[in-house]
Structure 1
Amino acid sequence: MYKPIFNQRKALRFRQFIRKGYALFACLGRVVTIGVLSVATLESASAATDDISTKTEKTSDEQQTDKEATLDDVEITGSRAPLALGQAARMVTVLSREDIQAAPVQSINDLLKMAVGVDVRQRGPIGAQTDVSIRGGTSEQITILLNGINICDPQTGHNAFDLPCDISDIERIEVLEGPAGRVYGTSSLLGAINIVTKSGERREVRGERLEVRGKRNVEARLEGGSFGYLSAAGRVGIASHSLSANYTRSDGYQRAKSGALNSDYDGVKVFYQGSYSLTSHHSSLTPKISWHVGMSTKGYGSNTFYSAKYDEQYEKTTKIYTAIKGETGGCIHLSPSIYWNRSYDRFELIRGSEAKVPFNYHRTDVFGINLNSYFDWLLGRTALGAEFRNEDIVSTNLGEALNNPFSHYKMGLNRSNLSFHLEHNILLSRFTLSAGFLAIKNTWNEMPFTIYPGVDASYRIGNNWKVYASYNESLRMPSFTELYYSVGGHKADKYLKPEELRAVEGGVKFSNRWLTAKACVFHHHARNMIDWVMDTREADAVWQSVNHTKVNTLGQEISLTSHLLPLTSFEIAYCHLHQNKNEAEYVQSQYSLEYLRHKVTAQVTARLTEKLEVRIGYRYQDRMGSYTDTQGTVKNYHPYSVLDGKVTWKEETYAIYVEGNNLTSHRYVDYGNVPQPGAWVTAGVKVSLY
């Protein structure tokens, strides 16, 4: 998971610089020196790594070193000003394209299970509905980004991972653990996950030259397996444009008491992205515009997701994502963006029938404008900017009564968020310091401007060691569901306060050609944490949304990645959390009192021959908390282990694979009364033409 970022590289020297194809120096995976270079040119030469894969004839150690060196230069989003991974003061987990392709998973949600600080709680397979949280938080307390654009749903965090892109579209995934308020604003209370998609064309390193291999490329994938699972996906890339589509379905792994399907799934994804750039030979400015448009629609049996009494629930969601981003170079880098996301959600407590309980309908619109800028000067790199975000919902039961009801919608709510940020980065040869603040105001509940500061520092000792420390504050606004959902045994509080958190973290990292190790300790002090709780002493108890007074979390993470053996890599990681809450024994929680006390992940990847690769993944989880079963009995969560595997045969233009999930067929419970499937086996083929 944690890739080496300290590597020695052979230097290339260009005797003449004419602002042509050498802008992507990071893609070469080496240090580049130029005989004559102006300050303005130097500023515009720090490009992020594009779509690359090395296929030259090298030893396994050389291939691994090149991969690590390239990753070192990837610009990650751990701060307001873009910094290479090797420079960043914050520790960011990067799941590379190679990790994604080799992993025995069918969805991005499954992929995140192997990040040790991330808690992935699925209510259904194939990512039907997944709650993703970081370091003991809830699914509401992280920010989800698509190519740097906030796609969080203010209605509920349950549907945050209804992504429009297929897993084959992903270039990399960046996971920022810990408060990220000054970087991403509201909702990033405990971290952020940024999903970066591939560009249209493919670039490769050949010898000491960067080549574009194929202005056009076509990819197709077909796979099927247990429980009627079938998935077909295709992707076409032409120059800087890419279009992909995916269809997935499954009969599900269980049925309702009546014999009807209640964990089935059917979904479609379509995603298009493009870009346009204009490079002038007479100016240091290099304007670029990029955009994406995507849609995700799916329907799935929700069996007992929201109530143990009804095992034929059903939900249908549709999401539309649009965004346009700009970027300029020169002395002052400007990066404006504008986005609009729309979500539809229909929930049926009794599938297909409104005779007893009406369906719930929700439509959410999110519009945002963001301007970020940064400039380099004598004392470092400074970033400043602002964002306006408007969140609107119309619903059958969330919000206040509408003056003019229409269709299914009788209720609604609108709120706006305005924020300003300032950050300064001191970048020395071995020392990085990032400090800044976020000033934010929300129209909901007449919230005044509030400032949330943060500072991150790291120091590189030699070529292999790095120590770092940070202090950050963050916040999260309540979701519309937490404020207004008062039906079906729930009672919401529309006067909930925002959640606030202060965190300190310190750690050390070692990395060389064969070994990477990381260890850290962190402490979170949270106020007004929001949760749904029930007083089990009451005969007619209901779930109530409340602000917890204080929650303290102490955690430790340690990870080790080894490449000592030829053609083999081994990764193991462990995370331990301890939360201190002043809660009575009779209080049952839905979210924040249910956290992973212990989590262990391990992966072994072995290339048995030049074309045959095997990956084995292991995961152990021990969750705190309890749930009430269908008989009214309160039960504690039990620890469980999961073993996954994937075997892949790779050729130049195609790959054939077989993968198995939960190979020991352990029927564990990860969320209330929703048992997870046993062994799940799939097989597929992927074709790539360039």
Structure 2
Amino acid sequence: MKNLKSNHDAQSVLTFRKWGRKNYSSFLTVRKQVVISVLSVVYFLSTPVITMATVQDTSEVKMEYDLDEIEVSAQRTPALYSQVARIISVIERKEIEAAPAQSVQDLLEYVAAIDVRQRGTEGVQADVSVRGGTFDQTLILLNGINITDPQTGHHNLNLPVSLAQIERIEILEGPAARVYGPNAFSGAINIVTHQSVDSEISAAVSGGSFGYFDGNLSGSLSTGKMLHMLAFNGKRSDGYTNNTDFDELNGFYSNQLNTEKGVLKFQLGLSEKGFGANSFYTPKYPNQYEATKTLFTSLKWEGKGPLHLTPVVYYRRHHDRFELYRTDKYGLTDDGYKVWQNDTLPGWYSGHNYHLTNVYGANLNSWVKWAAGKTAFGVEFRREQIYSNTLGLDMDEPKDVPGEDAQFTKSDDRNTVSGFLEHAYYINKWTFTAGLMANYISGSDLGLNVFPGIDVSYNVSDAVKLYSSYNTSLRMPTFTDLYYDGPSNIGNPDLKPEKSATLEGGLKLRSKLLRGHAVIFYRHGKDIIDWVKEDPTAEIWQPQNLTEINNLGTEVQAQLLLRNEYGNHYPNIQISYLYNNVEKGNADLVSNYALDNLKHKLVGSLSEQLMKGLQLDLHFVFQDREGSYTRFENKMPVGEAAYDPFWVFDGKLSYRRKQFSVFASVNNIFDKQYNDIGNVIQPGRWFKTGVIYKIGFN
């Protein structure tokens, strides 16, 4: 059967190269993925098209994947999965739907290599990093398009899609500058949306503790060569403690036009949310509030022919309103003061912070196969622009803030041009891939910088592969790093880009019963940016280029696939462990981000099919974090405190009958009190339940 094109950029695609003549081959062409996955669950809620005439229960369809038939493009040139010398973790649609998670952030908690430092729950705000990096060092992509926010990495996961629209999440561990460009410093996360080849409608409603409500409505339409998908999502909560309420609305549309010469893909997403930000950025001011709006769109052409050309244009607009004091909650007293609960609005507070970023981008990727292997080359242009009343350089003329009674008084912009070159060569049991990215940043005195990388692997047997890789990368400072000026933070316009070099090696194991990998990695970071202060009692944080940070770590993952070997009544079990030791060039500084890495993270899951259509999924996470934070009581600092290690257990019970399914889940089953960020307590036990109905039409 001829290959189907993927739903996302060729830089991070996993496709089936050929099909056996199995009765499920046509179903597989919706592009399922198999890699060493983080969550071990059976094929349960991943629902194919359900027609009015014929209803097929796919929970008993056995998916017999041959890993050697999978084509992987986690590099500039496409390659078979068995040839790639990198660690790629993939969370598939069936795993997403079975997991006790309602947001991308919650789902990523179950990946050992990822540190998710949550402030608000259910996707409100979280800082996501890979292998001990910071949240600004991880590149986020939507269908292969870079959606990283130049203002701050806090906004990187302001996504216009919910979990219901996600087909899979791909995680490339380690530097990826020569694949994706700047800011893929410690890893990259690509979120791929679902594009059905048939017409169907899906509706889902769920509710739970703390006034939680979540609603989803989506539909797909197939009209000959054109595929359409439209989805809407809304969720809210009263909050699990004071000033942690939130409201969120998302809308997303995508289409795909298939022609003889190639595939044209378009996507448009809108997201709007507002949330109480209790102590998010400083516990000195617990009554914070933030509202964000995101617009994202892209157009991509995937050409066919001997020379494969993929041009892309994209645009992202993000609006942020930050309130140090949530003024809508403050009431005016008889003596003229504004008061909320026990807090009085100070006279010096003149208004909120407003930020508007525009990102314009265009890139061209191409590759060709010839006698000496596969060669890829490409170029990308990206322009980042910000308007603000606190970030940037003074404007000659102020500009009105859209929809607000305020004005932007500062702005800045920068252009980045990157060129890519890569070659892959395969001989017998060996694979060799080498490439580089040449990068120029406007307004800097760095000139042209080159970041090379090389990957090598050797297949010991059909089940065991050894690999090693060396890659370099950079991360540009955000506009917040450069310019922020607030009561507890002040920026540094003299910051330089971060640079790193990473060496790693390990083995991959794949068999019908057991899959996994073991990896050792070392990263040398230079000019690492972090918000620091010299004295724990000092009130002001300022970003600096630390002299260096060296990471030495190991990651081990194993999946015991008993169900595949012995039948549906046996569970699948997965366990993963990450160890990361960080040595600082300046150990005397108090760090807010870079030096507070996870030293130990252990995750595990068990998936058990109790009976036909009924499935139980259990997950646990253990975290032990380095560093410390300044503990506050009654909005005053009282000294440094170490992060306490903790265990969290989650569970979900799901039942599916034809096109109807119902679930009940519990997060933090044992009501553990813990925090990912100092002074920001995470919610206790949280119950949720919901129903899902899907129907398809011929």
TM-score after normalising by structure 2: 0.87
Q: Aligned residue for 1:618?
A: 620
Deviation at 1:580, TM superposition (A): 0.7
Gaps of 5+ in 1: 1-13, 34-46, 202-214, 256-261, 280-285
* Alignment of 1:554 onto 2:541: no
Contact 1:666-1:678 within 8 A present in 2 as well: yes
Secondary structure of the equivalent of 2:160? coil
Report the Cα distance in structure 2 between the residues aligned to 1:272 and 1:512, rounded to whole angstroms: 39
Q: Is structure 2 residue 166 aligned with structure 1 residue 170?
A: yes
1:272 maps to which of 253, 264, 275: 253
What are the superposed Cα offsets for residues 414-447 of structure 1, whole Å, 9 maximum, x if unpaired? 1000010000011345322110000000003233
Residue 200 (structure 1) aligned with residue 196 (structure 2): yes
Aligned partners of 1:127 and 1:439: how far apart in 2? 35
The residue identity in structure 2 corresponding to 1:623 is R
Shift of 1:101: 0.8
| Paired position in structure 1 for 2:150 | 154
| CA distance in structure 2 between the partners assigned to 1:624 and 1:127 by the alignment | 25
Counterpart Cα distance in 1 of 2:204 and 2:16: 27
Cross-structure match for 1:571: 574
Q: 1:121 aligns with which of 117, 136, 139?
A: 117
3-state SS, counterpart of residue 446 of structure 1: coil
Aligned to 1:422: 421
1:647 aligns with 2:653: yes
Matches within 5 A, 1:162-561: 162-201=158-197, 215-239=198-222, 240-255=227-242, 262-279=243-260, 286-352=261-327, 356-357=348-349, 358-407=351-400, 408-536=407-535, 540-561=538-559
Cα deviation digits, residues 582-610 of structure 1 (max 9, x gap): 3344x211100100000000000000111
Structure 1 position 521, deviation (Å): 0.2
Percentage of pairs with the same residue: 38
Aligned to 1:607: 609
Distance 2:21 2:169 in 1: 27
Give distance in 2, aligned partners of 1:241 and 1:72.
Answer: 32
Q: What is the alpha-carbon distance in structure 1 between the residues aligned to residue 622 and residue 211 of structure 2?
A: 28
CA separation of 1:48/1:413 partners in 2, compared to 1, >3 Å: closer, same or farther?
A: farther
Distance of 1:325 and 1:151 partners within structure 2: 15
Moved more, 616-625 or 556-565: 556-565
Residue of structure 1 in register with 2:679 after alignment: 673
* Mapped partners of 1:296, 1:123: distance in 2: 19
Between the aligned partners of 1:639 and 1:153, the Cα distance in structure 2 is 31
- In structure 1, what is the Cα distance between the partners aligned to 2:517 and 2:531? 35
Question: How far did residue 106 of structure 1 move?
Answer: 0.8
Aligned to 1:132: 128
Is structure 2 residue 586 aligned with structure 1 residue 583? Answer: yes
Contact 2:16–2:71 (8 Å) recurs in 1: no
Q: Say which SS state the counterpart of residue 111 (structure 1) adopts.
A: helix
Aligned length: 630
Q: Say whether the 8 Å CA contact 2:103–2:122 is kept in structure 1.
A: yes
Distance 1:147 1:74, change over 3 A: farther
Cα distance, 1:493 vs structure 2: 1.1
Q: Is the 8 A contact 2:454 2:470 kept in 1?
A: yes
Gaps in structure 2 of 5+ consecutive residues: 8-13, 23-28, 34-45, 49-54, 329-344, 401-406
Structure 1 residues 20, 141: CA separation in 2 closer, same or farther (over 3 Å shift)?
A: closer
- Output the CA distance in 1 between the equivalents of 2:299 and 2:191: 16
Distance 1:238 1:392 in 2: 36
1:259 counterpart residue number: none
| Deviates further, 638-647 or 93-102 | 93-102
Does structure 2 retain, via aligned residues, the 8 Å contact 1:658–1:681? yes
Structure 2 CA distance, aligned partners of 1:50 and 1:509?
Answer: 21
Cross-structure match for 1:85 = 81
**Cα shift readout 1:229-271 (whole Å, capped 9, x = no counterpart):** 000001100011100000000000001xxxxxx0001000000
CA shift, 1:29, in A, is 7.0
Q: 1:238 is aligned with what amino acid? A: L
Equivalent of 2:666, from 651, 660, 663? Answer: 660
Are the counterparts in 2 of residues 226 and 680 from structure 1 also a CA contact under 8 Å? yes
How far has the Cα of 1:197 moved from its partner? 0.6
8 Å contact 1:535–1:541 — kept in the other structure?
no
Structure 2 equivalent of residue 258 of structure 1: none
Please name the residue that 2:632 is paired with.
Answer: 630
Q: Could you state the TM-score of these two structures normalised by the residue count of structure 1?
A: 0.88
CA distance in 2, matches of 1:74, 1:426: 17
User: Secondary structure in 1 aligned to 2:450?
Assistant: strand
- Determine if contact 2:3/2:17 at 8 Å carries over to the other structure: no
Q: CA RMSD in A?
A: 2.4
Q: Which amino acid aligns with 1:101?
A: E
How has the CA–CA distance of structure 1 residues 416 and 313 changed in structure 2, closer, same or farther, with 3 Å as cutoff? Answer: same
User: In the alignment, does 2:145 pair up with 1:142?
Assistant: no
In structure 1, distance between residues paired with 2:283 and 2:397: 36
